[in-house]
Structure 1
Amino acid sequence: MTLTFASPPQDKAELESGPAFTPRFDEKGLITAVVTDARDGELLMVAHMNAEALSLTLETGFAHYYSRSRDRLWKKGESSGNLQTVREIRTDCDQDAVWLKVSVAGHDATCHTGRRSCFYRTVGVADGEAKVAITDDHRHFDPAQIYAGN
């Protein structure tokens, strides 16, 4: 079974308070997905979903995303073993973004760099230039070993 989504209602009150989940995909057919750890709330990643990825996520309970760079659907953790089991999905007021609260299997890492979160760097200014600094250099797995055949 593949879920289909109705078009968002024109009535703002219905969109914001009605019972129907009617995601507002952008002009490329994507919706932003913010992903946090269900256990401690840490921000793990931000990704995109098309209707198929969102449908598969709802149907299977495992997070699926749409890769803009690879132009294809992917099941998060399929290669690394770090599958994301969805514990809760929320949508924002105008239904153009979703928030997934997940449990991460395997190495408890989400980032392809081997880190727990894709947000492992801070941004600041030094000597008049924007710079990044690594704040989490702990690798939960070696990406070269995990993704060697990809």
Structure 2
Amino acid sequence: MGIIKRDVSAKSGRSAVTIIAQGNHFKGDTQVSGKMHVDGLFEGSVDSSEDISIGRHGCVRGRIKARNVTVSGVLEGELICDQLHIERGGQVRATVYSDNLSIDPQGCFVGERRLQVTPQLEYHPEEAMREHSGSIDYSLIDSLPDRITLSAKGS
């Protein structure tokens, strides 16, 4: 028989961990508060402000957005994270948007890696032309040289 204290808060100072255990299959889109560990099959998209790990028996097919991702199992799809680490035996077949990527010698990465970039405002030259109140002086463009050569300082 257990003893339950009524004055203990349900919230602890530590973040929660969501686990999809081996043999379980989750399909859908989810947002996780806290960390997540997958040792079963997850199909869909998951968004977490913390870390996600894929265990040796885990397989994720879909889109992941998290801070740090560690893969010991299989990841297929798209990944957006600050740091990705592929451990021994881990396989990633995905388009990865990450600032840091590390792969153990026995890890596998097949796909494309792109650095995360802050979205820039789109520039539409047609709109800029319409908003320009005066006439455009094309003589400045015509006066530019055909070729510009840049060299290192001190060369």
TM-score, with normalisation over the residues of structure 1? 0.23
Greater relative contact order, per chain length (Cα 8 Å cut-off, separation 6+): 1
Write 1 or 2 for the structure with the bigger share of helix: 1
- Give the number of the structure whose alpha-carbon radius of gyration is greater: 2
